[in-house]
Structure 1
Amino acid sequence: MAMLLLPVLAKAQFSISGTVSEKSNKTLSGASVRLKNKATGMTTDGEGKYRFNNLKAGNYILSTSYIGYQTIEKSIKLSSDEVVDFTLTLSTFLADEVIVRATRANEKSATTYKNIDKAEIERNNFGQDLPFILSNTPGVVVTSDAGAGVGYTGIRIRGSDASRVNVTINGIPYNDSESQGIFWVNMPDFASSVDNIQIQRGVGTSTNGAGAFGGSLNIQTSAPSEIAYAELNNTFGSFNTLKNTVKLGTGLIDNKWSFDGRLSRVISDGFVDRGASNLKSYFLSGAYYGKTDLLRINVFSGTEKTYQAWNGVPEAKLRGDLEGLKQHYENNLGYLYNTTADSLNLFNSDNRKYNQFLYKDQNDNYAQNHYQALYAKQFSEKLSFNGALHYTDGKGYFEEYKNAQKFAKYGLPVANVGGVDVTKTDLIRRRWLDNDFYGLTYAFNYNPQSDLNFTLGGAYNQYRGKHFGEIIWAQYASTSTNDYHYYDGKGNKNDFNSYAKVNYSPVTQLSLFADLQYRNVKYDITGMDKNRNPLDFHNNYNFFNPKFGATYFLGEQSNLYASFSVANKEPNRDDFTNLKIGLPVPKPERLNNIEAGYRIKNSDFSAGVNIYGMFYKDQLIFTGEVNDGGDPYRQNVDKSSRMGIELDASYIISPKFAINANAALSRNKIKNYIDYVTEYDANFDFVKVQATNYANPDISFSPNTVLFGELVYKPLAGFAVALQSKYVSKQYMDNTQNENRKLNAYWVNNARLGYDFSLKGIKNINIGLLANNILNKKYESNGYTYSSIYPWGTVTENFYFPQAGTNFLLSLNLKF
């Protein structure tokens, strides 16, 4: 912390300051000003002013840009304080940034956010899923089922899981409409087609799609290069991980057209046994740029085949507790374990790499195709429009081998074999999802004067999902046929929202904003669930989500902000399909979010501190009980909260050294929690449910401390070394705050090396090395728990997802 404060105390050398305006002398607030040769920058304040301090004498290249205006660069030989003003002219074509402007936060939004640019994404892109590229941002915790960042991965922001994180791609919703989760495995190597990402923590600004209860990720895909290019990006590393990417682009043709494409594959054996992934994707984009029009068509797809590793490792196996493992095996005979092979695998495999599944085709298979038509129009200097049409087609299944299944469970009569009735059979089943998602988004932006801005936007989207199950093989076939569906269910969802935003600056130093959103969700769940229970739920939700805030500029480099926001969120599909008999239909959740903070930024130093309070009504949380199919129950709790402080800072110490650091400290509580545990008799038949009250326990999977630090060393031109360190405090796996049901705290250190140079015929060659977990820390980043009561006592089962020890990824990237 003392090192971070050094620039505040240091005496300045020279400065570059000035104002950015347009030809009519109207100043441009929020314009980007960068010192290109120092790789640092800032945005102009409410008066269009900027200032870089603590600059040594020398030559600098100053670049200024603003949406809809031509970029200007100026070379400066600095030997004293300089004042450099910029006058921007309207661009001959619209910039792609207009596509996401309506749902993005800026310095006037009084919102807690962090922008990640293309250069940072490229530095960290070694083929792992997108959450691992974002893992070093404040309050973020990531996990991987296979243990190495490829395959099924997850992200939590402020302790909120992926179903509470809103994700949009070019303003178009990406969250699955029913689970509201994010399946990054369906979009492998997507980071290679991303230009920038904005992470908003908390409710954030109004956007499209799922409610943001922990944060939102606003992703913009790549903008065109001005010149033609080709890239070959390759990564090879531990666990036979391999990434191959080919990128091509025409650059701007006649200053009006551009075409870009990418083809990728990512394969990995995974750290966990049989945790393999085979992922393929492509991205195609074509755009037309007029003086006042922009039309872009994106088509991208992802196909994944991933061996299932989602059951985790039993605690006794992970700890090497042989007696506990024997007891675990006996407790789960006929449920998790059935065959001699199961027993040998459980007792003889590597403790940390153990995977329960042995069937060779125990795979998850899914393909998803996206189609986007994006259009923007600049009617005048004051009025603009952007909108999109989109369609997503997804279809896939997961396959699994099941022992000794009752025919009745699949709606089939008993089989007669040699005159003997057989009630059970081994079988192979597939559970399918076939879904379509389509709709439109729109936004009008009106800027009548420099101190006033209006935005009117929204979206209407429809989702149509089919859920069904098939039996593709059985030891005894009964009357089943290849086209027999043992269950069929549907999920139909219509989602409409409209928002109005206004920014107003009554005085130069003060910016006020209001953001009002109305959202209507109509969600019908019908048919039969996977356990053949009837489904007949018809829900209609009307949500009003107001947001208000203010930003006060203390000067050219710093500001204070505060905001109050409301968010509402509908229950997930599983909250209905796993609904416990006798309990009321789940209610929607409500969140009141308070944010307040301070930001400062100059040429060498930037920092932000933010305090927040998130107060929930009827939050849906896991109860600790599971149903007969092993699915966890969730139910509403009356009151719960998250409160904390976040710090984020970076400091360029010298041309060779820089440090980046962030911290998230929080308190996450449920006011009153009821834990439910099912009691069974000696024959494993249901007896009753026992309830236990807990006062003020921690919310599960919510660490109270998340810290990150990075030291960057650049000993020579083109070469950089980064040492990264991350600490995550303990997390409870349920809401009882039981020390026997937790993830231990962990501290992981990584190193990243990069070297850029060029050869004749090759524009840039980049050699990169990512060394993960260099101290070989044994840790688990995710898990789950459940308990049952029997005449002989209470049995609690804990399962964990171990992460890989020391491992490496080596990349070679060529740009032409």
Structure 2
Amino acid sequence: MKRLLLLVFLCSSLVAYSQGTVTGSVQDADLGGPLPNASVVEVGTSNGTISDFDGNFSVSVSSNSGTLQISYLGYVTRTVSFTLSNGTANLGTISMDADAASLGEVVIVGTGVIDLASDRQTPVAVSTITAQEISTKAAGNVEFTEAMKNTPSIYVGNQAGGFGDSQVFLRGFDDTNTAFLLNGQPINSQEDGRMFWSNWAGMSDVANAIQVQRGLGSSKLAISSVGGTVNIISKTTDQNQGGFVRFLAGNDSYFKGTASYNTGLNDSGWAFSFLVDHWQAHRKYAVGTAGQGQNYLFSVGYKPNENHALNFLITGAPQWHDQNFSNDLEEYDLYGEKYNSNTGFLDGERYTERRNFYHKPVANLNWDWTISDNADLSTVAYASWGRGGGTGMYGRGSRIRTLVNGEINFEAIRDNNIAIAENGIGDFDDARIRRSSMNNHNWYGLLSSLNLEAGENWNINVGFDGRMYKGDHFRQVNDLLGLSGLADNNQIYMNEFEADPWKTLFDSAEEGDRLDYDYSENINYLGGFGQAEYATDKFSIFVQGAFSTQSFEREERYNVEEAGKSEKVNKTGYNIKGGASYNINDNHSIFANAGQFSRQPFLDNIFRDIRNSNDLFEPEIDNEEILGLEAGYRFQNDNLRINVDVYRTEWGNRFLAVGGEDDTDPDNPVFFTDRFNDVTQLHQGVEFDFEYRPTASTLRFRGYGSIGNWKYDGETPFTRQNDDTSEFVITDGMLDLTGTKVGNAPQTSFGAGLSVRVCDGLTLDGDYNIYTDLYGFVNPDDVVEAAQVGMRYQAERLPAYTLADAGLTYRFNFGGQRFVFRGNVYNLFNDSYINQRDRFGYFLGIGRTYNASLRLNF
């Protein structure tokens, strides 16, 4: 809106006296792309213009020498001097730097409920990824999470699992302990904190920016965050008319088509935007990892006057993808690095035990109200309706494998079903079918924040956050594999339900058709928060606090003896943070922050993790206690930026649950869960990043790294429970984990990136990352064995590895149309590596992959 008003104002100011003309071109300093619609104003006058699609501008000026101010949403404003010669001056290419301090301008509405680091003077450890970097480096057959990997203390693992199955670790904490927000609203699972990135597959197309706030961050909500906060800022209604179409192709038959259009803001204050796309591939990297999905976004904005702005947005990414799990190294040696133990063939086509399918429409309505020059209120009402789940096998019939390639022989399983069936009906003890574990939910929330400027130096913010959540969990028949019905628990199940993200919105099993389990979980949340900050040009100090209460309730339907609602459990939590910063001079500054969190346990840790029971877990799980300390140093001049941060996070009274399988009898494996209570983790380390841009601005070099020491401390009570029978406890005892390294993310990592503008329109870029000090999971059996022989247990250390990526961007005009070509190669040298180790085996990394796209802008 600022740009539109500016244009109208400038066009009406034709009376200004013109002395000459200044021309130039505005580009993104990161990848060299042009910045259309950048504002160019002669300082001290009303003379100005905006850049065209190719970033070019021509502005009339009123004096022979002066200064131009050039600004663009989400970038640092630049001032450039000019001197006319024969009435003209050409400033050449002017590079603009993306900056967290101006990120708030990216957000058309809802700025008050999005916890950006720029909202506070006291710094935090933060990195910002711009829309251009997201769309170029994390598009297509690459996980959206890959956009974050080139930042300090971020690790992205398990990319070989399938489309959308990656995991993000921040300072060694997994995604259940990192808060992910979309336009300010929490999106971690309410029940267990997990992030299912397949539900957000379209974010690479609709994200304006990602802000990674490590550690304490600037979030004011009492959210479940230990590692930090990741704020994903999506596109809303674009106020400039235009759009694009793009076609993208990659390895293994990946294809994606995208179309987007914005009407622009009309005279009545309305604007509309939409985006749709479709993607598909026969595999991601490993065999048996096919996928297909769509992405849609519709947004409408309305600005009736200067004091009010409203925006409604709905987006979703329905998808299905076949999954790949971990395997033993011996299996990879025998069958190859692309081996997938879940897959095989049925009637000549790929078939899998494990398919994830989900559709999660998300809608929000934002209202920004400028009450006065010193007060503004932002409110967002949001909702999501998730439908879908994952498939797996059901029944005690044998899993039959083909010896040649280790894949599952689904045709033999089907033949066995037919052979043992009576009148087409198989029995649970002898048959084997494919079922779907459904996880449907309805989630509604309201978030509001009031910001007050109390005098010249004070800023005060208060607000509340309320959420209501209900999740329904049950199993239904997906594929009877040759049977006409399955007999189980004194009932015959004959209806099949497709594993399809669109159909599951309206077609799921009713209560009488649900097998194995059927229950609901209800969570109600209410929190309040506040922050006060005093800031001058030299120093700042802040204090922040939040309090929340949550209620948890479980409703059983499948088990008649347990049917009904459980007792309602209420838990309260809080956080309090404070900090200060000091600007030594224009180039140097330092800061320090501290915070204490008392975090409620997840619902899945309150109720006994056994199906068909409302029983609470014993002993009762208490709040987790987190103490965070951090300090940092900042340096910046015209060509160089350096950030250094040190941190220490102590996470006490942690509850940890790890699943396992005893396959002594391969046809009847015993599934169990290991539970650790009162675990203490200590994460401490140092991280840095820097960026250097020579004066010529044709080259950009950046580096980053983190050195951590993450370990467990002390003894923990340990319980192993059977997940499938009424036998709750298999074994229990005490485990001493002192000094054991925390696994699944590298404790030491370094990286560097380089981009070079070769010539007008052509830019080359590359990234190189080194990962080491990577450990596997904690195996309780090994801990016990080590203690029996008087040794201190240590988790398995995995081999270090390196990865190199490369990219090319070329912008050109053809036939009067404007095009952008982008090509990427990931894991350029095709290195083999292990990126995670869990209880069941190893996750291998992805070998060399690639994609290329052509985009037409109009």
Query: In which range does the TM-score fall when normalised by the shorter chain?
Result: 0.7 to 0.9
Aligned match of 1:460 = 466
Aligned match of 1:3 = none
- With over 3 angstroms needed to count, the CA separation of the structure-2 counterparts of 1:528 and 1:707, relative to structure 1, is farther
Q: Any idea what SS the aligned residue of 2:117 has?
A: coil
Q: Which digits, 9 at most, give the CA deviation of each residue in 1:198-234, with x for residues without a partner? A: 1111132234474111111112222544431121122
- With over 3 angstroms needed to count, the CA separation of the structure-2 counterparts of 1:740 and 1:547, relative to structure 1, is closer
Aligned length: 696
CA contact (8 A) 2:357 2:389 kept: yes
Q: Does 1:559 align with 2:627?
A: no
Q: Which digits, 9 at most, give the CA deviation of each residue in 1:8-39, with x for residues without a partner? A: xxxxxxxxxxxxxxxxxxxxxxxxxxx95573
| Aligned partner (choices 426, 448, 459) of residue 454 of structure 2 | 448
Aligned-residue offset at 1:246: 0.8
Gaps in structure 1 of 5+ consecutive residues: 1-34, 42-57, 80-92, 321-348, 407-414, 786-797
- With over 3 angstroms needed to count, the CA separation of the structure-2 counterparts of 1:604 and 1:63, relative to structure 1, is same
Aligned match of 1:480 = 492
Gaps in structure 2 of 5+ consecutive residues: 1-24, 33-64, 85-104, 399-419, 496-511, 611-615, 663-668, 784-791
- With over 3 angstroms needed to count, the CA separation of the structure-2 counterparts of 1:218 and 1:531, relative to structure 1, is farther
Q: Where does 1:401-800 land on structure 2 (aligned, <5 Å)?
A: 401-404=393-396, 417=422, 423-472=429-478, 473=480, 475=483, 477-478=486-487, 479-481=491-493, 482=495, 483-486=512-515, 487-505=517-535, 507-527=536-556, 536=566, 538-576=568-606, 579=609, 583-622=618-657, 630=671, 632-653=673-694, 654-674=696-716, 688-689=731-732, 692-735=735-778, 741-762=796-817, 764-785=818-839, 798-800=840-842
- With over 3 angstroms needed to count, the CA separation of the structure-2 counterparts of 1:699 and 1:622, relative to structure 1, is farther
CA contact (8 A) 1:318 1:352 kept: yes
Q: What amino acid does structure 2 have at the position aligned with 1:216?
A: T
Q: Which digits, 9 at most, give the CA deviation of each residue in 1:47-68, with x for residues without a partner? A: xxxxxxxxxxx9985335799x
Q: What amino acid does structure 2 have at the position aligned with 1:636?
A: N
**CA distance in structure 2 between the aligned counterparts of 1:624 and 1:552, rounded to whole angstroms:** 47
Q: Which digits, 9 at most, give the CA deviation of each residue in 1:683-714, with x for residues without a partner? A: xx997557553322112224220211112221
Moved more, 211-220 or 125-134: 125-134
Q: Does 1:76 align with 2:81?
A: yes
CA contact (8 A) 1:578 1:632 kept: no
Q: What amino acid does structure 1 have at the position aligned with 2:191?
A: E
Q: Where does 1:176-575 land on structure 2 (aligned, <5 Å)?
A: 176-208=189-221, 210-254=223-267, 256-268=269-281, 269-289=283-303, 290-309=305-324, 311-320=325-334, 349-358=335-344, 360=351, 362=353, 363-404=355-396, 417=422, 423-472=429-478, 473=480, 475=483, 477-478=486-487, 479-481=491-493, 482=495, 483-486=512-515, 487-505=517-535, 507-527=536-556, 536=566, 538-575=568-605
CA contact (8 A) 2:114 2:183 kept: no
Aligned match of 1:39 = 29
CA contact (8 A) 1:175 1:210 kept: no
Give the TM-score of the pair, scaled to structure 1.
Answer: 0.78
- With over 3 angstroms needed to count, the CA separation of the structure-2 counterparts of 1:74 and 1:698, relative to structure 1, is closer
CA contact (8 A) 1:649 1:662 kept: yes
- With over 3 angstroms needed to count, the CA separation of the structure-2 counterparts of 1:537 and 1:163, relative to structure 1, is farther
Q: Any idea what SS the aligned residue of 2:736 has?
A: strand
Q: Which digits, 9 at most, give the CA deviation of each residue in 1:607-641, with x for residues without a partner? A: 10000010111122346866876354332334321
Q: Does 1:112 align with 2:125?
A: yes
Q: Which digits, 9 at most, give the CA deviation of each residue in 1:318-366, with x for residues without a partner? A: 244xxxxxxxxxxxxxxxxxxxxxxxxxxxx434433333372532211
CA contact (8 A) 2:106 2:208 kept: no
- With over 3 angstroms needed to count, the CA separation of the structure-2 counterparts of 1:147 and 1:397, relative to structure 1, is closer
Measured on the aligned residues, the alpha-carbon RMSD in Å equals 3.5
- With over 3 angstroms needed to count, the CA separation of the structure-2 counterparts of 1:447 and 1:591, relative to structure 1, is same
Q: What amino acid does structure 2 have at the position aligned with 1:713?
A: V
CA contact (8 A) 2:427 2:486 kept: no
Aligned-residue offset at 1:758: 2.7
CA contact (8 A) 1:732 1:739 kept: no
Q: Which digits, 9 at most, give the CA deviation of each residue in 1:394-448, with x for residues without a partner? A: 1113222335269xxxxxxxx9959999843323322111210002110011113
Aligned-residue offset at 1:143: 2.2
**CA distance in structure 2 between the aligned counterparts of 1:696 and 1:803, rounded to whole angstroms:** 28
CA contact (8 A) 1:206 1:499 kept: no
CA contact (8 A) 1:211 1:567 kept: no
**CA distance in structure 1 between the aligned counterparts of 2:585 and 2:435, rounded to whole angstroms:** 65
- With over 3 angstroms needed to count, the CA separation of the structure-2 counterparts of 1:207 and 1:219, relative to structure 1, is farther
Q: What amino acid does structure 1 have at the position aligned with 2:528?
A: S
**CA distance in structure 2 between the aligned counterparts of 1:197 and 1:94, rounded to whole angstroms:** 11
**CA distance in structure 2 between the aligned counterparts of 1:514 and 1:421, rounded to whole angstroms:** 63
Moved more, 555-564 or 115-124: 115-124
- With over 3 angstroms needed to count, the CA separation of the structure-2 counterparts of 1:734 and 1:38, relative to structure 1, is closer
CA contact (8 A) 1:447 1:453 kept: yes
Aligned match of 1:791 = none
Identity of aligned residues (%): 18
Q: What amino acid does structure 2 have at the position aligned with 1:570?
A: Q
**CA distance in structure 1 between the aligned counterparts of 2:834 and 2:538, rounded to whole angstroms:** 48
Q: Any idea what SS the aligned residue of 2:392 has?
A: strand
**CA distance in structure 1 between the aligned counterparts of 2:396 and 2:153, rounded to whole angstroms:** 45
CA contact (8 A) 2:824 2:852 kept: yes
- With over 3 angstroms needed to count, the CA separation of the structure-2 counterparts of 1:98 and 1:431, relative to structure 1, is closer
Q: What amino acid does structure 2 have at the position aligned with 1:292?
A: N
Moved more, 719-728 or 368-377: 719-728
Aligned-residue offset at 1:515: 0.7
Q: Which digits, 9 at most, give the CA deviation of each residue in 1:264-306, with x for residues without a partner? A: 2222311111111112110000101231111000011111111
Aligned-residue offset at 1:468: 0.9
Q: Which digits, 9 at most, give the CA deviation of each residue in 1:108-157, with x for residues without a partner? A: 13321122222322332322232111111111111245357x33221111
**CA distance in structure 2 between the aligned counterparts of 1:704 and 1:812, rounded to whole angstroms:** 38
Q: What amino acid does structure 2 have at the position aligned with 1:729?
A: T
**CA distance in structure 1 between the aligned counterparts of 2:687 and 2:389, rounded to whole angstroms:** 40
- With over 3 angstroms needed to count, the CA separation of the structure-2 counterparts of 1:480 and 1:732, relative to structure 1, is same
CA contact (8 A) 1:679 1:690 kept: no
**CA distance in structure 1 between the aligned counterparts of 2:308 and 2:289, rounded to whole angstroms:** 47
Q: Any idea what SS the aligned residue of 1:559 has?
A: strand
CA contact (8 A) 2:236 2:313 kept: no
**CA distance in structure 2 between the aligned counterparts of 1:279 and 1:739, rounded to whole angstroms:** 42
CA contact (8 A) 1:313 1:352 kept: no
**CA distance in structure 1 between the aligned counterparts of 2:847 and 2:559, rounded to whole angstroms:** 37
- With over 3 angstroms needed to count, the CA separation of the structure-2 counterparts of 1:650 and 1:159, relative to structure 1, is same
Q: Any idea what SS the aligned residue of 1:590 has?
A: strand
- With over 3 angstroms needed to count, the CA separation of the structure-2 counterparts of 1:178 and 1:531, relative to structure 1, is farther
CA contact (8 A) 1:271 1:353 kept: no
Q: Any idea what SS the aligned residue of 1:723 has?
A: strand
**CA distance in structure 2 between the aligned counterparts of 1:666 and 1:508, rounded to whole angstroms:** 34
Q: What amino acid does structure 2 have at the position aligned with 1:780?
A: I
Moved more, 584-593 or 70-79: 70-79
Aligned-residue offset at 1:559: 1.6
